[in-house]
Structure 1
Amino acid sequence: MKWQSTLRGRLFALLAVLGAVTALAVGGATYISVRAEADELFDYQLRQTALSLRDQGRVAPDEAAALADPSFDYVVQIWSLQGLELYSSRPQGMTEPLPARAVLGYSNLHFGGQDWRVFSAATPLRVVQVAQPLAARQKLAALAALRSVVPVAVALPLVAAAVWWLIGLTLAPLARVTQAAQARGATAMEALPTTGLPGEVAPLVDAFNGLLARLAEAFDAQRSFVADAAHELRSPLTALKLQLGLLRDSAPGEQQDAAIARLRTGIDRAVRLVEQLLALARAEPGAQTASMSLDLADLARQAVADVQPLADKAGVALTLAAPDVLPLAGDPQALRGALRNLIDNAVKYGARTVEVSALRGARGAPLLRVDDDGPGIPPDQRERVFDRFQRGEDVSVEGSGLGLAIVKAAARQQGASVALGDSPLGGLRAEIAW
């Protein structure tokens, strides 16, 4: 059933079972207790009746009439000490008297096909015996016990209804959260309400709100990325279209060769921009990343080798200081690309000497460092250069302004941080630290 799959239904079912078991236990205990008390009361009546007749010389006519009443289920017998019957009452349907017994006090007797409860008392002159059928006692005791259980049976459904209402009242804040979530659109990232939530549910809603906040941040970054990428791709693609028109209109010979060279340069720039955009997308929060054991020193050697041709062409002295092995767990492609971007920026922006170091920092954590003797970056601009498409002051240097943004995103994805500072060489120091 549907209600069994809800939290309210399950709680009610468990509490209903607990309440039913408790009611049965209380009702059973009450029934047994009342029956025992009724038996004690009937025994007391037997004793009082016998004692009230014990000291009388004879049974008065009015008492005899009352004892002979067919509705009176007691049997009263009186004998002399010599065994002479002085009085005997017989209820309706009883053809012969109970046998005379010398057992004083309470006893049980089977006679005439039924069981009797008997009390006998003796005086110096006579013996009085009062008996009552056990069936009549048990019937009256059972009725009294059932009447004591009736309030429990009547209260049980009322308590069940109250429990159902209280559970619904307690879960009302959770129902409001559910309704708020169901009413949201596909792009709604506002936090769900947490007012009045139970302590067991509030952490779940808080965690979900944290997830919504991260999703909103990721969606904003994605929208910003798509908008920036479209804007940046428009210029090189437009340039490629113009260069293609110039190539078509140029005459064969040197003019056409120059147009082809410009077209090739434009294509290389567009390819480089697309590669950087893809690298930035892979480094964005939430992107899948491969984590494996790697050698950071060997990765630094590969990154230096990637930039060495550009450094040789620009006349830059590029050196590497690294141990034989520097183990680390991370994404080798992302880290190699980040370090390559740092070295590439140092070479492009006028450095004559670039020193790359892979080492352990002061606390023993791995550290990648790039020092140069170039113009550097003013301290007040060092945070801003990590923004996307943010170019340095030297606009003559070819680039898209994505290099340091890729470095920062890749470092954050690998559990590291990137910082810029002053280099002992006189230029800029860039560090990726774990």
Structure 2
Amino acid sequence: MAKPLLSTLRGRLFALLAVLGAVTALAVGGATYVSVRAEADQLFDYQLRQTALSLRDQGRVDGDDAATLADPSLDYVVQIWSLQGLELYSSRPQGMTEPLPARAVLGFSNLRLGGQDWRVFSAATPLRVVQVAQPLAVRQKLAALAALRSVVPVAVALPLVAWAVWWLIGVSLAPLSRVVQAAQAGGANALDALPTAGLPGEIAPLVEAFNGLLGRLSAAFDTQRSFVADAAHELRSPLTALKLQLGLLRDAAPGEQQDAAIARLRGGIDRAVHLVEQLLALARAEPGAAATRLPLDLAELARQAVGDVQPLADKAGVSLALTAPDPLPLTGDPQALRGALRNLIDNAVKYGARTVQVSASRNPGGPAGAPLLRVDDDGPGIPPEQRERVFDRFQRGEDASVEGSGLGLAIVRAAARQQGADVSLADSPLGGLRAEIQWPAEPRA
């Protein structure tokens, strides 16, 4: 559907430039008109003066000059007077009813004679006075015609310039039109980058920023689709197990057999609940999720996380120690950071460590005052070539006997990045694995 001219960028630019061009053309044309008229008046005055001076220097008006001056179509009037006031010569064009006055004003003057205005130049010699006159109406008409002829090229060029401006605006906006067509051609799920070739410098950053947004949306959608697919796959197994355990419970005889079936069913429900909680924690930590920013004490948060895992450590016979001597104020999401640290400690306890040391301090090797959370253990550790892969979702360790969802380290990395920190794995001085959550600089509470 065609859009109104002024609703398009091309139309608005053309309208503004057309108004500017019209105002400029009027100003230039008006100035040219006034200037040419003034120059024409000066030229006519020069002709009057030269004619009078040439006749003043002649002894008499010969036959040829008299015939020329007597031409009725000539708009000049020439009269020569003696010093006694006698008319020696006079040429009168058609329509002139009375002669010029004998008493002339030397030089240029204006007078009204026979119902019209005249421009007169008078020159005197010791023997006579020469007067040359021209109707002001004739002068003004000739001057106006000369001025109009000088303005005609501007008037003729104006439409051509307007067409050229319209065409140039269209050429300049053609890359933007291609961007619009590319955006309209895509379907509802099309997140391909828009073309940026040839875009003006003022529009290219906008399209590039939009392409960046499309890229982030595409990555988020891919992550979401992958997350949903992995979650559905992982939930299928515990739900199937629950269904089987429910059937075993129904068929179990009352007594020890039924109690064992109930215990297995309760364990399956606990694992399913844990998996759902881990999925929710990962969803809250994924890019794009709203991040909570509250003042917190990292040392206190570490004590709470250690307290959460302490019963599991006591049950497994693991020595769990914490070093957090000073308050570490910063701004972040207490729940997300507490859950991330709890997952790191929980992994160390589950995967065979006998000693786990947790510390919250300022990073001595990083930016001044940057907080650092560290978990060291003496367990089997993770080979260096596998340390990046274990951050993938649903990636479990090599020990198949350890129950888990494979989401712990994925949650840790997502939560840390959401808080502006990063997670790294390295060898621990205790002989096992060291996990660190590091901030790049000192956050302010």
Q: TM-score range by the shorter chain?
A: over 0.9
SS at match of 2:267: helix
Question: What's the % identity of the aligned pairs?
Answer: 86
Alpha-carbon separation, structure 2, partners of 1:285 and 1:373: 33
Quote the offset at 1:58 in angstroms: 4.3
Return 256-265 or 318-327, whichever deviates more. 318-327
1:380 is the counterpart of 2:385:
yes
Quote the offset at 1:152 in angstroms: 0.3
SS at match of 1:308: helix
Select 1:400's aligned residue among 394, 402, 405.
405
Residue type of the alignment partner of 2:325: P
Quote the offset at 1:172 in angstroms: 0.7
Select 1:429's aligned residue among 412, 430, 434.
434
Quote the offset at 1:10 in angstroms: 2.3
Provide structure 2 residue ranges, at least 5 long, that are not aligned to the other structure: 440-445
Matches within 5 A, 1:71-90: 71-90=73-92
Structure 1 equivalent of residue 415 of structure 2: 410
Quote the offset at 1:349 in angstroms: 1.1
Residue type of the alignment partner of 2:311: P
Contact 2:393 2:410 in 1 (8 A): yes
Residue type of the alignment partner of 1:93: G
Quote the offset at 1:389 in angstroms: 1.0
Alpha-carbon separation, structure 2, partners of 1:393 and 1:95: 127
Structure 2 equivalent of residue 184 of structure 1: 186
TM-score, reference length from structure 1: 0.96
Structure 1 equivalent of residue 443 of structure 2: none
TM-score, reference length from structure 2: 0.93
CA-based RMSD of the aligned residues comes to 1.7
Contact 2:326 2:361 in 1 (8 A): no
Matches within 5 A, 1:107-256: 107-256=109-258
SS at match of 1:46: helix
Residue type of the alignment partner of 1:82: Q
Q: Deviations over 1:45-80 (max 9, x none)?
A: 212322333344544455445434443222221111
Quote the offset at 1:310 in angstroms: 1.2
Alpha-carbon separation, structure 1, partners of 2:397 and 2:301: 27
Quote the offset at 1:324 in angstroms: 3.9
Structure 2 equivalent of residue 391 of structure 1: 396
Quote the offset at 1:323 in angstroms: 2.9
Structure 2 equivalent of residue 302 of structure 1: 304
Contact 2:97 2:114 in 1 (8 A): no
Alpha-carbon separation, structure 2, partners of 1:44 and 1:9: 51
Alpha-carbon separation, structure 2, partners of 1:14 and 1:330: 51
Quote the offset at 1:3 in angstroms: 2.5
Q: Deviations over 1:343-376 (max 9, x none)?
A: 1111111112211111110232001111112221
Structure 2 equivalent of residue 261 of structure 1: 263
Q: Deviations over 1:151-181 (max 9, x none)?
A: 1011011101101101111111111111111
Residue type of the alignment partner of 1:91: P
SS at match of 1:244: helix
Question: Alignment length, in residue pairs?
Answer: 434
Provide structure 1 residue ranges, at least 5 long, that are not aligned to the other structure: none
Residue type of the alignment partner of 1:426: G
Residue type of the alignment partner of 1:373: D
Q: Deviations over 1:291-328 (max 9, x none)?
A: 12211111111111111111122122212111341111
